[in-house]
Structure 1
Amino acid sequence: MPTARAKRSTSPASVPDTPPSATAARRKPRAGTGPTPREAILSRYLPRILTAKVYDVARETELETARNLSARLGNQVLLKREDNQPVFSFKLRGAYNKMAHLSAEELARGVICASAGNHAQGVALGAQRLGCRALIVMPRTTPQVKVDAVRALKGEVVLEGDSYSDAYETAVQIAQRDHLTFVHPFDDPLVIAGQGTIAMEILRQHQGPIDAVFVAIGGGGLISGVAAYLKAVRPEIRVIGVQTTDSDAMMRSVQAGKRVRLNDVGLFADGTAVKQVGEETFRIARELVDEFMVVDTDAVCAAIKDVFQDTRSIIEPSGGLSVAAVKQYVERTGCTGKTFVAITCGANMNFDRLRFVAERAEMGEEREALFAVTIPEERGSFRRFCELLGPRSVTEFNYRISDERVAHIFVGVGMSRRGESVEIADTFRQHGFDAIDLSHDDLAKEHLRHMVGGHSPLTENERLFRFVFPERPGALMRFLSSLHPSWNISLFHYRNQGADYGRILVGIQVPRSDRASFRRFLNTLDYPWVEESDNPVYRLFLR
């Protein structure tokens, strides 16, 4: 996947064993010259981070070893669990630090912010603690769990626009009209300093070598604070910023040498869906961040699953960016024995999204491959194809009779290693079945897998049944081997939902003369079944 390297100034020498006051950030400029932009940033932000007021509302979160992921990658992966904050996100650090520095008069008038949800909760909690009014402008696309959380903290919610940038414009107008103090989610030195306390905790919690810290980027406040502290105290640690492929404003800005505004942003990782990064955060990130990476939706879903397997916690998509990037970085570089920190920055996700995450996680890990396979429309070819799959796990099977000569099957197959889909497709072709690998086809993954089927003119003597199968190898072949050779399968739909039992819809063409033997077949079958031949949905959409 593409990466971008930041424009760099000359790094000061690493002084890992000296206190922060003796680091490069506190060094005096060379005689006759002013400080470099890098030195100016470090000297400005280090004292602000060290004196940040965050612990009235925030807690020092755990730095946990992701044992399963570390073993799989051959590197130590440490998770900085900002998803365990009281509002399930790091955002309360910067928000409260800003608000704690306001005057009594400013607090009396109240505060306002624009946020996709996590910053909003931080502002609402801070306002509750400080006893002031908080008006929160949120995009209409914000997950309901975040809207409800803000209201539970007594924040006043206004829903406006489809992205953070839309909500921001509305919030600025209201702030000017009502004389409220605007608490920026990222482009404010006090907010940046508050987020920088995360890096301070990381170095306190792990005093051994750290090769890189991976940080999600939305507007840039988190990575600016983290980079400012790390490069002042431990400049040898690489800081790697991570964005999604459809919300990469910071990476594009660094590449262009100026702030770039995106026309649209992806909304899956809503916490980092920002059309334009801040002026201050861009200035800091361009100077201090070592590398920028982008990850796609499937990789983020796989990362959410990885964190769950190690911690039994579910993080939000933006919280999975850093973990996805660690995996991608290790695969790209082939490194081993390194120590990486991934900041899991939030856990505010709608429960309804878990279905999508679970489905796409297998694609992100390349544990599932999707194929379009063409087989002859003749009795026995369906069984031959299933026999060819052998012991492999079938994750999805969609087929509808539509042609007298050939049948088109949409099938998902479990994989044991990356790159196996090419071998599977070759095996299909070697046995006379044309196959197209759809594993990286977004149209197939997002839509076609749910649309295969429909009306067919070739449904004479077709009967429709729902069967419940135990989810174990061989169950499908046992069913197929029980069918009489003169019975034709005309429809088949199956999707592995992760349960102990799978539910399969099957259309079977049974000649009138075979109805008695077909009834005996059903009565001797060990699987529960329900006939749906008279179901009106079947007649409307499939017959």
Structure 2
Amino acid sequence: MFLSKSSSNHVICGAEYLRAILKSPVYEIAKVTPLQKMEKLSLKLNNTILVKREDYQPVHSFKLRGAYAMIVGLNQEQKARGVITASAGNHAQGVAYSANKLGIKSLIIMPKATVDIKIDAVYSFGGEVFLYGNNFDEAKFKAIEMSKQHGYTFIPPFDHPAIIAGQATLAMELLQQDAHIDRVFVPVGGGGLIAGIIILLKQLIPQIKIIAVESEESACLKKAIEVGYPIHLNNVGLFADGVAVKCIGKETYRICKEYLLDDLITVDSDSICASMKDLFEDIRAIAEPSGALALAGMKKYIKKNNIIRERLVHILSGANMNFHSLRYISERCELGEKKEALLAAVIPEKYGSFLKFCQNLGNRSITEFSYRYLDTNRAYIFVGVHLTNGFKERNEIIDHMTNAGYKIIDFSDNEIAKLHIRYMIGGKPLKNFEERLFSFEFPEAPGALLKFLQVLSNNWNISLFHYRSHGTDYGRVLAAFQPSNSNCNLEKHLITLGYNFHEETNNPAFHFFLRNYR
């Protein structure tokens, strides 16, 4: 099945690709993955939403298809010498797994900063790992250098006819599973997958529209289309690391151009996070960011073009997720769905001001609340509010609070505020004073904060307050109180409140970062 690029002048025609795809041996190790309907999202978007589950592959990614297709086609001498590649992710695992199944030595060059989970995965699939360089480009340079020194065959991640033909087997399955598809949304990094899908679908059923989806932080195909040829981006974002490619492949770009890619759309990281949540809630799949990229593009495209009652497919391209990234993704998905407003305000530092501010917000679901005493006149507030009606509701809240006399600053679309400032609100107050610090478990229910303030704020001045919803039955809250002149028993009122609490006044982190000293 091996498609050679022996001559730089030879252009492989569509018929050659079709023959290679139909004869592909990838099913010796790859699976025919399900095409699954997303029931909840279909109802929500008024279209039939279908997902191609490439997370079901043995390496949890479509990359296995192309890697095996190329390696199995090597001659005996090449197989005896072994294969080498550069990758920090799914291609590395596809090469290691394929080579191991064929009894071939594989060496994977990975950047030094590659996380342990990906290194361990390559080892588990029988590959050897050599850490080199600070990024993919440096690792790739080293891999090509070593291939020449030791006679290894370099297995490129996307820009090779054999790789493209292997990825195209996914499109062949699509037609066998549902020949009435209207559009297919495909994630794009270097372009191997979308080139394979185009080369098959546009020759067999050209009326199926193919939409490329790129991350705004690595839109190399979009840039190539704008200038008319593959060109290197200066920088790429690494959140969706599976598509973090600086330059589209020459052959993959040629195919997209010659076989008329129908459209292209880009999405931001928050939209990707929101789509990861959709996949989990609908089909219980935990996709990696690049795996949810196509769904994010589909949702944006549907809204932008007012698409209804169509059969739409998106590719869940991979699920090699670093578990520790889920916390960040959970934080950002509400913003990606436009379901959270992040607002800031300055309020007077006097009894009842905090309570009055919250009363003006009403019985809305609060996702986050940071309050910190600054001096005798002012206190800072940073608040997250859950939205059920997107931009319209956000503007209504801002207008209402402004009319109530508050100067509101909207940080919902401020990347620095979302990524950093929200965690840095507070600090040491300008004035020295005594305060006691407590941690609480708040029930996740409307009115929980108002109840807290109504029970406590009339007797003690609250000098610090921080709350963030984590999607569980109870929210974690940190609050500090200044001593009251009435000498009321604070613990008695805390017990009356009915929320679990624990005193943290002597916590060293509080003393170091938040407490002033005489």
Task: State the TM-score bracket (shorter-chain normalisation).
Answer: over 0.9
Contact 1:379 1:486 in 2 (8 A): no
State how far apart, in whole Å, the 2-side matches of 1:134 and 1:125 are.
9
- The question of 1:492 aligning with 2:456 is answered no
- Change beyond 3 A, Cα 1:458–1:83: same
Instruction: Assess if the C-alpha contact under 8 Å between 1:470 and 1:502 holds in 2.
Output: yes
Corresponding residue for 1:87?
59
C-alpha displacement of 1:141: 4.2
How many angstroms apart in 1 are the aligned matches of 2:112 and 2:194?
26
Q: Relative to structure 1, is the Cα distance of residues 271 and 235 closer, same or farther in structure 2, using a 3 angstrom cutoff?
A: same
Given the alignment, which residue of 394, 401, 408 partners 1:428? 401
Q: Which runs of 5+ in 2 are unaligned?
A: 1-10
Aligned equivalent of 1:509, options 457, 469, 482 = 482
**One-letter amino acid of the structure 1 residue matched with residue 272 of structure 2:** V
Q: CA deviation at 1:125?
A: 1.1
How far apart, CA to CA, are the structure 2 residues paired with 1:539 and 1:234?
Answer: 67
Matches within 5 A, 1:212-291: 212-288=183-259, 289-291=261-263
Q: 1:111-510 residue pairs with structure 2 within 5 A?
A: 111-208=83-180, 210-288=181-259, 289-419=261-391, 420-483=393-456, 485-510=458-483
Task: Output the CA distance in 2 between the equivalents of 1:118 and 1:514.
Answer: 64
TM-score (norm 2): 0.94
- Number of matched residues? 504
Partner secondary structure for residue 140 of structure 1: coil
Q: How many angstroms does 1:245 deviate by?
A: 0.8
Separation (CA, whole Å) in 1 of partners of 2:465 and 2:13: 62
Give the conservation status (yes or no) of the 8 Å contact 1:363–1:439.
yes
How many Å apart are 1:406 and its aligned residue?
2.8
The 2-side partners of 1:285 and 1:158 are apart by 34
Partner secondary structure for residue 74 of structure 2: coil
Distance (Å, rounded) in 1 between the aligned partners of 2:508 and 2:61? 48
Structure 1 residue identity aligned to 2:275? A
Q: Report the TM-score when normalising by structure 1.
A: 0.90
Quote how far apart the aligned CAs of 1:77 are.
0.9
Give the deviation of 1:483 after TM superposition.
1.9
Choose from 488, 500, 504 the match for 1:528: 500
Higher relative contact order (CA 8 A, sep 6+): 1
Residue identity in the other structure for 2:219: D
1:79–1:344 contact (8 Å) kept in structure 2: yes
SS at match of 1:407: strand
Q: Share of identical aligned residues, percent?
A: 48
**Distance in 2 between the 1:273 and 1:383 partners?**
47
State the distance in 1 between where 2:274 and 2:474 align: 24
Q: Distance in 2 between matches of 1:520 and 1:49?
A: 74
Distance (Å, rounded) in 1 between the aligned partners of 2:311 and 2:267: 20
Alpha-carbon shift at residue 403 of structure 1 (Å): 3.2
Deviations 1:6-33 (A, max 9, x none): xxxxxxxxxxxxxxxxxxxxxxxxxxxx
Quote the Cα distance in structure 1 between the aligned partners of 2:396 and 2:12. Answer: 55
Contact residue 114 and residue 120 of structure 1 kept, 8 A: yes
SS of the residue 1:267 aligns to: coil
Letter in 1 for 2:381: I
SS in 2 for 1:59: coil
Question: 2-side partners of 1:523 and 1:365: how far apart?
Answer: 38
**Could you tell me how far apart the structure 2 residues matched to 1:116 and 1:538 are?**
39
Give me the whole-angstrom Cα distance separating, in 1, the residues matched to 2:252 and 2:60: 23
Letter paired with 1:437: D
CA shift for structure 1 position 198 = 0.5
Distance 1:45 1:353 in 2: 38
Q: Is the 8 A contact 2:355 2:457 kept in 1?
A: no
Q: What is residue 8 of structure 2 aligned with on the other side?
A: none
* Aligned mates of 2:12, 2:96 — CA distance in 1: 33
Moved more, 70-79 or 516-525: 516-525
Deviations along 1:282-334, one digit per CA (max 9) or x if unpaired, are 11122231112111110001111101111111011110100000100011111
- In structure 1, the residue matched to 2:7 is none
Indicate if the aligned counterparts of 2:459 and 2:488 stay in contact, CA closer than 8 A: no
Q: In 2, distance between residues paired with 1:469 and 1:371?
A: 21
Determine the C-alpha separation between the residues in 1 that align with 2:346 and 2:457.
23
Shift of 1:486: 4.7
Q: Secondary structure at the match of 1:413?
A: strand
CA distance in 2, matches of 1:542, 1:349: 35
Higher mean C-alpha displacement, 195-204 vs 285-294: 285-294
Q: Is the 8 A contact 1:165 1:274 kept in 2?
A: no
Once residues 351 and 492 of structure 1 are traced to their aligned partners in structure 2, the CA distance between those partners, rounded to angstroms, is 29
User: 1 CA distance for matches of 2:263 and 2:13?
Assistant: 18
